[in-house]
Amino acid sequence: MLRVTYIGHATLLIEIGKRRILTDPNFDSALGRFLPRVSAPGIAIDALPKLDAILLTHAHADHLSFKSLDALPAGIPLFAPPPIAKWLRKQGYGHAVPVASGEEAVLDDVSIRAASATHRGNRYGVDRWRSAANMYLLDTNKVSCFFAGDTALSSDTTHLVEKHLVANGRSLDLALLPIGHAPWWKPGFRKGHLTSGDALTLFERLQAKYFIPYHWGTFNHVTSTAFDAIDRLRATLESHPLHPAVKILEPGTSFVLPTVAV
C-alpha cells in the first residue's frame, strides 16, 4: 500500500507498506516575522496518526522547524543527513539518526536510501558545514516512492531510482517533487531548486508512474507568492501528455497508488 497526504510545503505523510513516515515537518504559522502561512496544515499536528519515522532533508527553516519537532514523538527515528543529525543530537534530539548519501536505513519492511541533493541546505550564512541535503527513495520491494526534498535538475538527480529500481527491472511508482518559481532576474534559483517545468522534466526522466508536486500553497516568499509555481504547472499541464499522471493535492487530501490485479 502507498498513500500520500499533502499537509503543506514539504510536509507530507507517506504511508508505505505498514509504516507511516512524515517528511520535513513544518506546522508553523509563519517563516520568521514576514512570511506568513497562507493555508492551514492539511492535518493539524495533534491530529496526526501514529508515526513510525520522520525524514529530514536539510536544515533550512522551511524544512526543519524546531517547534514542530518538539511537538512530535521523540521515540521514533528522525532520519537526517549526518551533519544535521549530529547538530540535532547536540540540541537534545536524541532520536536523530544519520543517513549519509549512499547509505540505507531499514524501517521494518521499508528501505530508506539516501542520495545527495543539489541544494545548499545550511540554515545560516556561517554554518556551511551543515549544508548537506538528502533525497530519499522509499521502497518495500513492492511499491516505491522518491522524495526529492529540495534539489536542482542535474545529471545525478535520477541516480537513486536508476541504481535501485531501473537496474533491477522495476519502475518508480511515485515521484514527490518540489516546485518553485523565481522572477527572471533571479537566475541562480535553478542552481538549487526545481521550477514547475524542471519538475515535469525530472518526472519524465525518472519514468515514474505518478508525480505529486509539493512546496507550494503554504508560505509566501520574498520573490514569489505561494501559488505562482502551481499556477504555472497547471497552465503547462493543460496541453501536456503526462497530465493524467500528475496528481495535484490540496492540503489535507490524499493520493492512493492504484493496485493492479495480478
- Dist CA 41 CA 55 (whole Å): 18
Which among 36-40, 127-131, 181-185 has the top mean pLDDT?
A: 36-40
Q: Is the pLDDT at 223 greater than 90, yes or no? A: no
In this predicted model, which residue has the larger pLDDT, 31 or 124? 31
Per residue in 125-162, pLDDT (tens digit) is: 767 777 799 999 999 999 999 999 999 999 899 999 99
Q: Is the pLDDT at 257 greater than 50, yes or no? A: yes
* Angle (nearest 5°) at CA 41 between 6 and 194: 50
Determine the pLDDT at residue 127: 74
Determine the pLDDT at residue 252: 97
What residue ranges define each of the domains in the chain, with the CATH number in brackets? 2-256 (3.60.15.10)
Q: Name which of 83, 91, 43 is nearest 65 in CA terms.
A: 91
Here the cell at position 8 is: 503543506
Residue where the block lists cell 507530507: 12
Cβ within 8 Å of residue 218, ≥6 positions away: 8, 9, 37, 38, 39, 226, 251
Q: Is the pLDDT at 53 greater than 70, yes or no? A: yes
Helical packing angle, 196-206 and 228-237, nearest 10°: 50
Strand residues in the chain grouped as ranges (E): 2-8, 11-16, 19-23, 30-31, 35-36, 53-55, 78-80, 96-98, 104-107, 110-116, 134-139, 144-147, 174-178, 210-214, 254-256
Q: Is the pLDDT at 63 greater than 50, yes or no? A: yes
Confidence band, pLDDT 50/70/90 cuts, at residue 261: very low
- Tell me the whole-structure pTM to 2 decimals: 0.96
